[in-house]
Amino acid sequence: MNVRRLLSVPLLAGVLGALATGCGIRATEVPTDFGPAPSRANCSLTSPDVTTRTSRGIPVQVFLLCGSSLVTVDRTVRAAEGATDVERRVLVAQGLLDVLAEPPSPAEAEAGYETEVPGGTTVSGPRPGDHEDTLRLSAPPSDLAGRALAQIVCTFSDSAAAEGDGSVILGGPGGEAPRRYECTERVRTRPDAAEPPSSAVQQGG
């Protein structure tokens, strides 16, 4: 009897080992292909827009939105022949607003370009008591979306509509005092996170 028990121990151990091996859990392969990564705006045009190159007028550059930055594109605005300095600046500024509000061309849209400047926005010159370089918009600058204001400030400050020092004096249609807005590197690279900084302006001048 003792011999049988001794012989049955290794036999039972072998059977249990085989059962344990057969009942093991197999590793499950987890699929890692979740499809292509989300597409991003490439912000690169393969060639200049033919209509822009052949349009008549003054060649200018305006800032559109692409991805998380402001980028320049070529446009043209109507020439202000025979106008005074103030009239010329207002005409240039209005032309810039008009092209900023236009939808990007199909090639630009495909590359990810967009604009948030509302159509119908107008601009006028300084009122009595304003600084001579003031441009007054038909909507208060503080009421504009941050990205739209960044487009306008950076476009104006880099054009004949402003003093050419990287800033522009903007006011609204009401009695609020105009302010000097700056197009900084941070505004150009992060218009979503940084509105154009502004400062008070000495009246007159």
Distance of CA 201 to the CA centre of its chain: 28
Q: Beta 69-77 vs 113-114: how paired, if at all?
A: unpaired
How long a stretch of residues is the chain? 205
pTM: 0.76
pLDDT of residue 86: 87
Compute the mean pLDDT over every residue in the chain, rounded to the nearest whole number.
80
Residue-wise pLDDT tens digits, 189-199: 999 988 899 99
Residue-wise pLDDT tens digits, 76-120: 998 777 788 889 999 999 999 999 999 999 999 999 999 999 999
Dist CA 61 CA 18 (whole Å): 78
